[in-house]
């Protein structure tokens, strides 16, 4: 059954960006705070602490995540995107930048600050590290207003271009099937090998960044 109050609270920050595109970032952050605070206009200290703890738990549980800027998407498009992510078991949360920054610092996640500007919604992949990147990259092809700002993989922050490169990897099931055909070992070995592939992917990205920095 459609519940107007729940729909309003769940889509408040999105609606603010869609219907009031001239809002300042500070006001947008306050509206996002309303979403995160469960209906109170400004988060009080205890509520902020609770939100920070919830973000920390998500950051510690995830296999992968993608940060997006959703400005320009209308309500129908946001609803469609959230449904696609939800069907894949991915949480899509609008989060207040200041609280996300605190949570990231407390769990030792470095390099996220530059991407915490403007409205931010994060797709948290708890089981599949590649799925959030794949779904969002595919959605962005036909919805140019959706900006992929950055991602998180193996507890490292990667930029938007790297998220798109990650999205181009074969699905988890395909990688496992290839490993199954090439190796003779218990299933936990296959999963470990998959994690190794992703870890090597992160190392390659780091090497490319260092090379570009040296050439600059």
pLDDT band of residue 110 (cuts 50, 70, 90) is very high
Alpha carbon of 52 to those of 28, 38, 102: distances in Å? Answer: 18, 14, 7
Q: What is the predicted pLDDT for the residue at 154?
A: 84
Q: Give per-residue pLDDT as tens, 123-147.
A: 999 888 899 999 999 999 999 999 9
Rounded to a whole number of angstroms, the CA Rg of the chain reads: 18
Taking residues 55-69, report their average pLDDT.
Answer: 95
- Under CATH, which number does the domain 4-169 receive? 3.30.70.1730
Could you tell me which of 18, 7, 122 has the C-alpha nearest to residue 75?
18
CA angle 173, 67, 75 (to 5 degrees): 95
Distance CA 200, CA 90 (A): 24
Q: What is the predicted pLDDT for the residue at 32?
A: 47
pTM strictly above 0.75: no
């Amino acid at each position: 059954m459609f519940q107007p109050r729940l729909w309003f609270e769940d889509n408040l920050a999105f609606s603010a960006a869609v219907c009031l595109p001239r809002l300042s970032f500070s006001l947008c952050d306050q509206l996002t705070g309303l979403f995160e605070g469960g209906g109170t206009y400004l988060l009080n200290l205890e509520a902020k602490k609770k939100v920070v703890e919830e973000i920390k738990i998500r950051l510690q549980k995830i296999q992968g995540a993608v940060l997006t800027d959703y400005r320009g998407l209308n309500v129908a498009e946001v609803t469609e995107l959230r449904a696609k992510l939800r069907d894949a078991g991915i949480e899509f949360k609008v989060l207040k930048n200041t609280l996300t920054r605190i949570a990231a610092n407390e769990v030792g996640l470095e390099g996220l600050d530059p991407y915490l500007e403007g409205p931010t919604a994060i797709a948290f992949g708890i089981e599949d590290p590649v799925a959030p990147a794949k779904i969002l990259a595919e959605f962005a092809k036909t919805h140019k207003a959706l900006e992929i700002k950055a991602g998180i993989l193996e507890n490292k922050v990667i930029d938007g271009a790297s998220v798109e490169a990650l999205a181009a990897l074969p699905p988890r099931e395909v990688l496992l099937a290839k490993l199954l055909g090439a190796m003779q070992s218990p299933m936990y070995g296959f999963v470990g090998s998959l994690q190794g592939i992703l870890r090597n992917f992160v190392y390659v990205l780091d090497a490319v960044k260092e090379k570009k920095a040296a050439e600059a």
